[in-house]
Amino acid sequence: MEYYGAKYGNTIVAVPPNYTSQNCSNCGEVVKKSLSVRTHVSLHCSYTEV
């Protein structure tokens, strides 16, 4: 990833993967779900993502 970031002039920032898939990409609220759940539904902003 760092190679392609440098190649295309983008900044790559490594983040700890813990709980990142529980943050809503629309509003940022934490939506608790198990690893088997593949559909994200935020009750806070009504955003749905598959």
Where helices occur in 1-50 by DSSP H, the ranges are 2-7
- The pTM assigned to this predicted structure is 0.51
31-45 pLDDT per residue, tens: 888 888 888 899 999
- Higher pLDDT pick, 35 / 26: 26
Domain boundaries, the chain: 16-50
CB 36 within 8 A of CB 21: no
